[in-house]
Chains A and B, each alone.
Chain A
């Protein structure tokens, strides 16, 4: 099952690349932790438990300059259009993979889906997402160039949002993912990138992150957010 899920993910990425969309989106969510393996190659790093949903962050204003129907593009793979939430966020669903799109929420909180007419879907606006696109890396996955948030940004973002999670187990999952990545960054000698990012954040955000790290024992990791 795992193998076919990975293959399907690669096929989705390949089609998005051929359609000229992949270079304009940032892959976020738990799938990143899998693709960070190449970034941490040779270092002690194990990806966290990931779910089926693969999230793409679309920075606004979007640079996507082609008009495509994503649902049609993935239809022959067995993807169907699904709707979630009271407002109807569109997800492209397959038993092995769920493709979702996200945009950064600005201004007043709103449940309304953000339309992405160039892709024929809509996106869910979420807070703090712009942090993920501030520093990015490009991972080579099966000859495809996929933009991922820098691991430091990914970890700091997870720590920032975990207190907003209504479910405690999700918050725990976020914390585990963040700590694991910060540990790997420390082993790689790149803890300064995370420290620099942390110090660049508003004080309120810093306090929130420090609070999220209260139960962490690793002193090297803790020193990043001091």
Chain B
């Protein structure tokens, strides 16, 4: 039992550290999501983001394919990291409740 508890405690420490790592990586990613508007047959790009509860459209103009790809990749990473962060948070809740055992919450 002691061994099992030791492993769970170690894993809780790992998950707590991991939570910080994912939060740091998410904060590092550039904010916003790129959208494309078609105006009079021309494509223009805008970065959509929320600032103080308001949605803002930042005009980016015409972007190269490479830039569009970069924004797309950022979006994918953000979604992935959010999903994994949520998984880590679930692990933390599970490990904490398991280690607490019958103690009152």
Contact partners of B20 in chain A: CB under 8 A: 82
Contact partners of B15 in chain A: CB under 8 A: 95
**Cα(A49)–Cα(B3), bound, Å:** 9
Q: A82-B21, A173-B6, A176-B3 are in contact. Are A53 and B84 (CB under 8 A)?
A: no
Chain A window 156-174, contacts with chain B (Cβ cutoff 8 Å), 1 for yes, 0 for no:
0000000000011110110
- Chain A residues 53 to 90 lying within 8 A of chain B, measured CB to CB, are 53, 75, 78, 80-82, 84
**Cα(A173)–Cα(B9), bound, Å:** 14
Contact, CB under 8 Å: A52 / B14: yes
**Set A78, A168, A173: member contacting B7, Cβ < 8 A:** A173
Whether a CB of chain A sits under 8 angstroms from the CB of B56 is no
Q: A78-B80, A80-B22 are in contact. Are A93 and B17 (CB under 8 A)?
A: yes
Whether a CB of chain B sits under 8 angstroms from the CB of A14 is no
Task: State how many residues of chain B have any CB contact under 8 Å with chain A.
Answer: 24
Residue from B6, B11, B20 whose CB has the most chain A CB atoms within 10 Å: B6
Contact partners of B2 in chain A: CB under 8 A: 168-169, 172
Chain B window 3-41, contacts with chain A (Cβ cutoff 8 Å), 1 for yes, 0 for no:
111110011001101101110110000000000000000
Contact, CB under 8 Å: B5 / A80: no
Contact partners of B4 in chain A: CB under 8 A: 49
Whether a CB of chain B sits under 8 angstroms from the CB of A38 is no
Min distance, Cβ A30 to any Cβ of chain B, angstroms: 9
Whether a CB of chain B sits under 8 angstroms from the CB of A98 is yes
Contact, CB under 8 Å: B21 / A81: yes
Contact partners of A53 in chain B: CB under 8 A: 14
Min distance, Cβ B77 to any Cβ of chain A, angstroms: 8
Contacts from A to B (Cβ < 8 Å): 49, 51-53, 75, 78, 80-82, 84, 93-95, 98, 167-170, 172-173, 176
Contacts from B to A (Cβ < 8 Å): 2-7, 10-11, 14-15, 17-18, 20-22, 24-25, 77, 80-81, 84, 87-88, 91
6 A-B pairs besides A51-B7, A52-B11, A93-B17 with CB distance below 8 A are A51-B10, A80-B21, A93-B14, A94-B84, A95-B18, A167-B6
